[in-house]
Chain A
């Protein structure tokens, strides 16, 4: 893929991802955040974070399904933008919703399963964001780094649980997210199974690929 196309794609991700934040800022300026602005802002930030996490999880399956490898290059950016929204979501919860009532928040983290899993997802995102640079990939070594970043499957699942458990009966949006998660994880599982079968059948039909290339 040419340099220009890559830049254009990344610019599109930046614009698309920051769009919801822009909408919020604009609504804030024009006092148009609705009757319960804090709830609306918290919900929008959380929703955007979850969309971005699931989108980043959806890049690899595109290669498995269609053989496209260019989406892989967007994973890091999508992941970091998701982390950015999670941080904003968390900051609003602490600083505006609960106004630094630490004891009460800590009780909620311990007692309310939806907050427990949300908090866990946030904590797990930190090492991933911290090791997102090319330098860190080199320092950890490719294999370790890939293993660490498998945590994103756990984070995506915790994020969807967070949404499912906070929603009241009758709300359908969380189920769309659960379906999306099932699809992106399901394609991976199918692809993994397919490759494993191919590898087992491999030696009889064609020579095994060199070890170094397998890890891809």
Chain B
């Protein structure tokens, strides 16, 4: 017993002498100092963030249970390098065209197999108790980031609408509006994704405490390139599962059709859990490049969240249900 308790203590980092632990705020300030951006400001990321435009700050309580200790990916990388095909297929497109998205007025319809379907206004959603959580993000293209998100558990939202016993899945739908999303206009070769972008989770995945309705990052509301004003973050799955700019969540009995699965079923499965042992057909998933680092890292099972989520998939062949 003693041994087990000791290993648990180690897992929590309790065996590390306190003097060796850098206070998170001090650590963040030091990072800011090193980038030369905000040596004197007390808000750890305020200056850097506001350089990207005046985004509304968000008050959120740090949830100590969900704080990855790795160095944060710089704000600039987080907001200028990502996939959001609604803005275009290049990873620079979301930042280049993000300004065309208007995030007010905005509502999210939550319906389907539930007792109390409801359309939430974005302001109402921002009043949920917000948490600051630092998660790993692993893209299916084998790069990764460490991002301080702000949001609240999806379970809190779903409980409000009271899913019925038949509800087994949740489908997420992104806004369709080619005026705001230039990537939704028909291209020259006419074959981007089918719009709207849809994603889905099994209900138990959706209710898992890690699954976060996300409204902000780095202490501010979500920037447009990152899926403003509201998205979901599912940190143990490849990034494309975390649908952006959501307008609809629907509880269903059937597994929802998902956009990338429809586009290339052999490459992108419904589950798409981060798994170093199951390759993408065209590249290996065993390693990843953490943005800002030179050497590749080994990819972790379930993106490092195996302790929390592996039990969701007990008895499942993860090679078959990729």
B110-118, B244-252, B280-288: which one contacts chain A?
Answer: B280-288
* B160 interface residue (CB < 8 Å to A): no
- Chain A residues with CB under 8 Å of B76's CB are 35
Q: In the bound complex, do residue B187 and residue A172 qualify as a contact, i.e. CB atoms below 8 Å apart?
A: yes
- Chain B residues with CB under 8 Å of A113's CB are 282
Q: In the bound complex, do residue B282 and residue A35 qualify as a contact, i.e. CB atoms below 8 Å apart?
A: no
Q: In the bound complex, do residue A99 and residue B295 qualify as a contact, i.e. CB atoms below 8 Å apart?
A: yes
- Closest chain-A Cβ to B297's Cβ sits at a distance in Å of 11
* A168 interface residue (CB < 8 Å to B): yes
* B296 interface residue (CB < 8 Å to A): yes
The verdict on A114 contacting B296 (CB below 8 Å), with A169-B263, A171-B89, A175-B189 known, is no
Q: In the bound complex, do residue A36 and residue B189 qualify as a contact, i.e. CB atoms below 8 Å apart?
A: no
- Chain B residues with CB under 8 Å of A4's CB are none
Q: When chains A and B are docked, how far (Å) is the Cα of A98 from the Cα of B283?
A: 13
Partner among B80, B191, B282, B294 whose Cβ is within 8 Å of the Cβ of A166: B282
- Closest chain-A Cβ to B307's Cβ sits at a distance in Å of 27
- The number of residues on chain A lying at the interface, defined by a beta carbon within 8 Å of a beta carbon of chain B, is 25
* B28 interface residue (CB < 8 Å to A): no
Partner among A38, A170, A175 whose Cβ is within 8 Å of the Cβ of B89: A170
Q: When chains A and B are docked, how far (Å) is the Cα of A126 from the Cα of B2?
A: 64
Q: In the bound complex, do residue A165 and residue B282 qualify as a contact, i.e. CB atoms below 8 Å apart?
A: yes
- Chain B residues with CB under 8 Å of A39's CB are 143, 289
- Closest chain-A Cβ to B254's Cβ sits at a distance in Å of 24
For B295, the closest partner residue in chain A by CB is A99
Q: When chains A and B are docked, how far (Å) is the Cα of A104 from the Cα of B286?
A: 9
* A6 interface residue (CB < 8 Å to B): no
Q: When chains A and B are docked, how far (Å) is the Cα of A161 from the Cα of B159?
A: 50
- Chain A residues with CB under 8 Å of B286's CB are 104
Q: In the bound complex, do residue B191 and residue A169 qualify as a contact, i.e. CB atoms below 8 Å apart?
A: yes
Q: When chains A and B are docked, how far (Å) is the Cα of A147 from the Cα of B220?
A: 64
Q: In the bound complex, do residue A169 and residue B264 qualify as a contact, i.e. CB atoms below 8 Å apart?
A: yes
* B188 interface residue (CB < 8 Å to A): yes
What 0/1 readout, one digit per residue, does chain A (167-200) give for beta carbons within 8 Å of chain B?
Answer: 0111110010000000000000000000000000
- Chain B residues with CB under 8 Å of A111's CB are 279, 284
- Chain B residues with CB under 8 Å of A168's CB are 89, 141
Q: When chains A and B are docked, how far (Å) is the Cα of A34 from the Cα of B295?
A: 16
Q: In the bound complex, do residue A35 and residue B81 qualify as a contact, i.e. CB atoms below 8 Å apart?
A: yes
Q: In the bound complex, do residue B284 and residue A107 qualify as a contact, i.e. CB atoms below 8 Å apart?
A: yes
Q: When chains A and B are docked, how far (Å) is the Cα of A108 from the Cα of B92?
A: 27
The verdict on A99 contacting B193 (CB below 8 Å), with A39-B289, A107-B284, A112-B282 known, is no
- Chain B residues with CB under 8 Å of A114's CB are 282
- Chain B residues with CB under 8 Å of A108's CB are 283-284
What 0/1 readout, one digit per residue, does chain A (112-133) give for beta carbons within 8 Å of chain B?
Answer: 1110000000000000000000
Q: In the bound complex, do residue A170 and residue B294 qualify as a contact, i.e. CB atoms below 8 Å apart?
A: no
Q: When chains A and B are docked, how far (Å) is the Cα of A34 from the Cα of B143?
A: 14
* A96 interface residue (CB < 8 Å to B): yes
Within 8 A of B (CB), among A27-74: 34-36, 38-39
Q: When chains A and B are docked, how far (Å) is the Cα of A172 from the Cα of B292?
A: 28
Q: In the bound complex, do residue B283 and residue A35 qualify as a contact, i.e. CB atoms below 8 Å apart?
A: no
Q: When chains A and B are docked, how far (Å) is the Cα of A108 from the Cα of B284?
A: 8
Q: When chains A and B are docked, how far (Å) is the Cα of A38 from the Cα of B295?
A: 10
What 0/1 readout, one digit per residue, does chain B (262-280) give for beta carbons within 8 Å of chain A?
Answer: 0110000000000000010
- Closest chain-B Cβ to A166's Cβ sits at a distance in Å of 7
For A166, the closest partner residue in chain B by CB is B282
* B85 interface residue (CB < 8 Å to A): yes
- Chain A residues with CB under 8 Å of B166's CB are none
- Closest chain-B Cβ to A132's Cβ sits at a distance in Å of 33
Q: In the bound complex, do residue A36 and residue B289 qualify as a contact, i.e. CB atoms below 8 Å apart?
A: yes
Give the A-binding residues of B (Cβ under 8 A): 76-77, 80-81, 85, 89, 91-92, 141, 143, 187-189, 191-193, 263-264, 279, 282-284, 286-287, 289, 291-292, 294-296
- Seed contacts A96-B294, A97-B289, A107-B284; 18 additional CB < 8 Å A-B pairs: A35-B76, A35-B292, A36-B81, A36-B143, A39-B143, A39-B289, A97-B296, A99-B295, A108-B284, A111-B279, A112-B282, A114-B282, A169-B191, A169-B193, A169-B263, A170-B85, A170-B192, A172-B187
- Listed by A's residue number, 8 A-B pairs whose Cβ atoms lie within 8 Å are A34-B92, A35-B291, A39-B289, A97-B296, A111-B284, A170-B85, A170-B192, A175-B189
Give the B-binding residues of A (Cβ under 8 A): 34-36, 38-39, 96-99, 101, 104, 107-108, 111-114, 165-166, 168-172, 175
What are the 3 A-B residue pairs with the smallest beta carbon separation, nearest first? Answer: A35-B81, A35-B77, A170-B192
